[in-house]
Structure 1
Amino acid sequence: MIPQPERKRIIDLIRREVVPAIGCTEPIAVALCVARAAETLGCRPEKITARLSANILKNAMGVGIPGTGMIGLPIAIALGALVGRSDYQLEVLKDLTPEAVEEGRRYIDQKRISISLKEHIAEKLYIEIEVEAGGHTATAVIAGGHTSFIYIARDGEALLDKRAGASSAAGAADDDPELTLRRVWDFAMTAPLDELRFILETRRLNKAAAEQSFKGEYGHCVGRTMCGMQERKLMGDHVYAHILAYTSAACDARMGGAMIPVMSNSGSGNQGIAATLPVVVFAEENGATEEQTIRALTLSHLTVIYIKQSLGRLSALCGCVVAATGSSCGIVYLMGGGYDEAAAAVKNMVATLTGMLCDGAKPSCAMKLMSGVSTAVLSAMMAMEHRCVTAVEGIVEEDVDKCIRNLTRIGRDGMNETDRLVLDIMTHKS
């Protein structure tokens, strides 16, 4: 068993990375930054200037903003100023009202908001907000993490300044525990159950989001379409179909702008959904005990956190690749597999999904999540049959941690030009 002090560090890491969020985390993080700047100003801003990294722009252009029926950054920024509360973190807009939405529309129509690309920055997650009113200004900057404020100032006087120590593009902080897949497995399998029980909140929130989605028209209705396939006998009524339906349905609701909280992972609600629901559905439909469910969810979520430590918060690699890899490990455990089978599942995932690009947050993300979790189930099944992609094939290596590093190196460094090209295409559509 991992010693208690080290277990506490890992649990603290999970609690920090697995948190509730309402709406897509990129525009919501922008709204959070606006709320903090407005609070620092001390009055309602007359003008708001947002300077954002390319990845923030890309992930906020096409996604619904909860409770508004609107898409994109302008309304998120307006509402951050009008009703946002920074102490709510990624639930910053949960006090939203229809009246506030109408006021936000007027705010946009009055041309009070300016949005531009922040040039010449290495950080992929960067949000800089400047607000003005009554001859005063305030500035807030988030970088490195969706809730990580590194600079706050009023009228040019710094109230917080962590810019010199701001994190790089990678996701791991200096004080984070050092993880390997073996260490993730050992922790999930041996930590006292009472220390892990909090992870069941991921099941409650994300399953509720999926079930709410089945009742409405959200996004492309991928989850409801999957249910229709079952009813029309085009796809069987079995656990695999249910995994696809529940996972994509929760994403439908989130990307469609539903005012429904989900449990995120490493700053992404879709990652939290894909790390949770395949495990939950498999556990429930195969009679798993509460202990097995808790350990499987812990394994899934901590695997995602581990991979994101070297990949970074935002990249050109779709987050479903990482999140589905976590759920594949969780499913292996529920199938009765051990560490070797989990490592094989990771290699199968890397061999299959590496290179799936992120072209922003949007309703069609539900289709990508469905692709990711379908591969997760297949990878787990293959691993349990002792079938694994070998070290002579592609980027897979014998050492599973090196294999993970190859995945994250491609996503973090190799796909940078892809990232720039995707943003150029998105911003120059005719």
Structure 2
Amino acid sequence: MNQVTDQQIIEILRKEAVPALGCTEPVACALACAKCKEVLGGVPEHLDVLVSGNIYKNGMGVGIPGTGMVGLPIAAALGAVCGKSEYGLEVLKDVAEGDNLQRAKDLLEHVTVSLKENAPDKLYAEALATRGNDRVKVIIAHTHTNIILVEKNGEELFRREFQLDVTKPETKGPELSVKRIWDFVHDVDVKDVEFVLVGAEMNKAISAEGLRSEYGLQIGKTLKENIDKGLLEDDLLNRTLIRATAASDARMDGCPKPVMTNSGSGNQGITVYLPVVVAAETFGASREQMIRALALSNLIAVHIHHYMGHLSALCGILIAGTGAASAITYLMGGTYENMVNTIKTMCSNLTGMMCDGAKQGCALKVYSGVSAAVQAALLSMRGIKTNNDGIVEEDIERTIRNVGLIGTKGMEETDKTILNIMCNKNMK
């Protein structure tokens, strides 16, 4: 394994922390359709969108910002009407301008979204748009903004190669490790990573909106109300749960505020940032300590994702929660060994929590992940650790690889079964 440099780690941190407006799977569809519009020179008259099972699953029941609607068709229509590819994951930020929403609704009868059989990647969106005699194809694959093909009237305008099999992590080039991340977080000039505070403020803002209004399952609001009634304690655990679930409730119910993502996911971004912010506030941490903790949380999550890919049948909140748990351990004065034990406890606890699509219920999984994160940190700080049994090994890197193996090859059939259940349910 090649030693990764500090500058490469900083670049990884920047690359995997990107603002997004709305659930990123519908956004990928919207982005492909927006690019179609730009190449056509106007709004398409007809749109056919083909997506992988994982994008289909994550787009069926999630709210689209500023619309009061759910699903991939309205996201595609909005991308074709008002999306701009230069906005990336914020492609839908002009939804509220003028009559964009109504124009998108009018286009819906000319939009079809269907499953791409044997899609070459778990994250795959293909938009076919027509306007007059012109026909444009745009394909996004592997990551949410990675346009790999632009074609007009059969002529290839742009092509980019991409890695087909996300179940096999890239072996070329430098790789992260838990120890390398730990050393980096302690040694890096804090000015080089202070940009993580932008994500913290962004995610705090959508959390505050989630508490102000009645979004989704209102988990955060309900917890706070019961603290006010004296039924729950105003403690570290409940503060982290309130802040994180309020943000997730708002995001999954179509709140028109952006979130800072981690590894292409908004809910995972919420989970790597907000529990750490609350812990830093609770412990009276300095600005520098908070910055280093946020960098640690993000990087641990990115490292685990390396073995999973961006989409899986395994819920990514396990990964994000592990990042948060690691950072909370750091903020409590934990050692490297404490953090390793924290990660192992998280892997023992939440591995196997399935992803059954993006929806309001994702806030419940954020609740589970954040709760487990706080508990894992507290246990490790008492010197309590899980035995090296089950999927957990003495070597932390092998343990992480085991989690990745479960989330890819181990849950391939689970992924198909979940999608079949969801599709058949909608046909009844």
Deviation digits for residues 119-146 of structure 1 (CA, Å, limit 9, x no counterpart): 1234100001110011111111010000
Task: Determine if the alignment matches structure 1 residue 420 to structure 2 residue 416.
Answer: yes
CA distance in 1: counterparts of 2:243 and 2:235, whole angstroms: 12
The answer to whether the 8 A contact 2:283-2:332 is kept is no
Is there any run of 5+ residues in structure 1 with no aligned partner, and where?
A: none
The answer to whether the 8 A contact 2:167-2:409 is kept is no
Q: Which residue of the other structure, out of 153, 157, 160, is the alignment partner of 2:151?
A: 153
CA distance in 2: counterparts of 1:210 and 1:342, whole angstroms: 27
Residue of structure 1 in register with 2:315 after alignment = 318
CA distance in 2: counterparts of 1:326 and 1:180, whole angstroms: 13
CA distance in 1: counterparts of 2:241 and 2:168, whole angstroms: 28
CA distance in 1: counterparts of 2:29 and 2:125, whole angstroms: 6
Shift in Å, 1:174: 6.7
Shift in Å, 1:106: 1.5
CA distance in 1: counterparts of 2:396 and 2:279, whole angstroms: 25
* Aligned counterparts, 1:123-134, within 5 A: 123-134=121-132
CA distance in 2: counterparts of 1:107 and 1:162, whole angstroms: 30
Equivalent AA in structure 2 for residue 286 of structure 1: F
CA distance in 1: counterparts of 2:94 and 2:148, whole angstroms: 25
SS at match of 2:126: strand
Kindly tell me: are residues 374 and 176 of structure 1, through their superposed partners in 2, closer, same or farther at Cα, counting changes over 3 Å? farther
CA distance in 2: counterparts of 1:403 and 1:302, whole angstroms: 17
Residue of structure 2 in register with 1:105 after alignment = 105
Residue of structure 1 in register with 2:227 after alignment = 230
Equivalent AA in structure 2 for residue 138 of structure 1: V
CA distance in 2: counterparts of 1:175 and 1:247, whole angstroms: 36
Task: Determine if the alignment matches structure 1 residue 411 to structure 2 residue 410.
Answer: no
Task: Determine if the alignment matches structure 1 residue 196 to structure 2 residue 193.
Answer: yes
The answer to whether the 8 A contact 2:37-2:44 is kept is yes
CA distance in 1: counterparts of 2:364 and 2:350, whole angstroms: 14
Residue of structure 1 in register with 2:398 after alignment = 402
> How many residues matched?
424
Shift in Å, 1:226: 1.1
CA distance in 2: counterparts of 1:414 and 1:211, whole angstroms: 38
The answer to whether the 8 A contact 1:122-1:169 is kept is no
Residue of structure 2 in register with 1:246 after alignment = 243
CA distance in 2: counterparts of 1:62 and 1:8, whole angstroms: 39
Shift in Å, 1:168: 2.6
The answer to whether the 8 A contact 2:51-2:119 is kept is no
The answer to whether the 8 A contact 1:266-1:305 is kept is yes
Residue of structure 2 in register with 1:207 after alignment = 204
Q: Which moved more, 1:202-211 or 1:324-333?
A: 202-211
CA distance in 2: counterparts of 1:388 and 1:167, whole angstroms: 38
Deviation digits for residues 329-358 of structure 1 (CA, Å, limit 9, x no counterpart): 000000000111110000000000000000
CA distance in 2: counterparts of 1:396 and 1:175, whole angstroms: 26
The answer to whether the 8 A contact 1:137-1:154 is kept is yes
CA distance in 2: counterparts of 1:177 and 1:35, whole angstroms: 34
What is the percentage of aligned positions where both structures have the same residue?
44
Residue of structure 1 in register with 2:377 after alignment = 380
Residue of structure 2 in register with 1:327 after alignment = 324
Q: Which moved more, 1:49-58 or 1:34-43?
A: 34-43
Q: How does the TM-score come out when normalised to structure 1?
A: 0.96
Deviation digits for residues 95-120 of structure 1 (CA, Å, limit 9, x no counterpart): 11262111211111xx2111111112
SS at match of 2:307: helix
Q: How does the TM-score come out when normalised to structure 2?
A: 0.97
* Aligned counterparts, 1:297-316, within 5 A: 297-316=294-313
The answer to whether the 8 A contact 1:199-1:297 is kept is yes
CA distance in 2: counterparts of 1:121 and 1:184, whole angstroms: 34
> What CA RMSD, in Å, does the superposition of the two structures yield over aligned residues?
1.5
CA distance in 2: counterparts of 1:232 and 1:221, whole angstroms: 16
Kindly tell me: are residues 11 and 145 of structure 1, through their superposed partners in 2, closer, same or farther at Cα, counting changes over 3 Å? same
* Aligned counterparts, 1:13-412, within 5 A: 13-97=12-96, 99-108=99-108, 111-163=109-161, 165-170=162-167, 177-391=174-388, 393-412=389-408
SS at match of 1:197: coil
Shift in Å, 1:169: 1.5
Deviation digits for residues 388-429 of structure 1 (CA, Å, limit 9, x no counterpart): 1111x2111000111111111101111111111111111111
CA distance in 2: counterparts of 1:234 and 1:173, whole angstroms: 50
Shift in Å, 1:166: 3.6
Is there any run of 5+ residues in structure 2 with no aligned partner, and where?
A: none
CA distance in 1: counterparts of 2:167 and 2:157, whole angstroms: 26
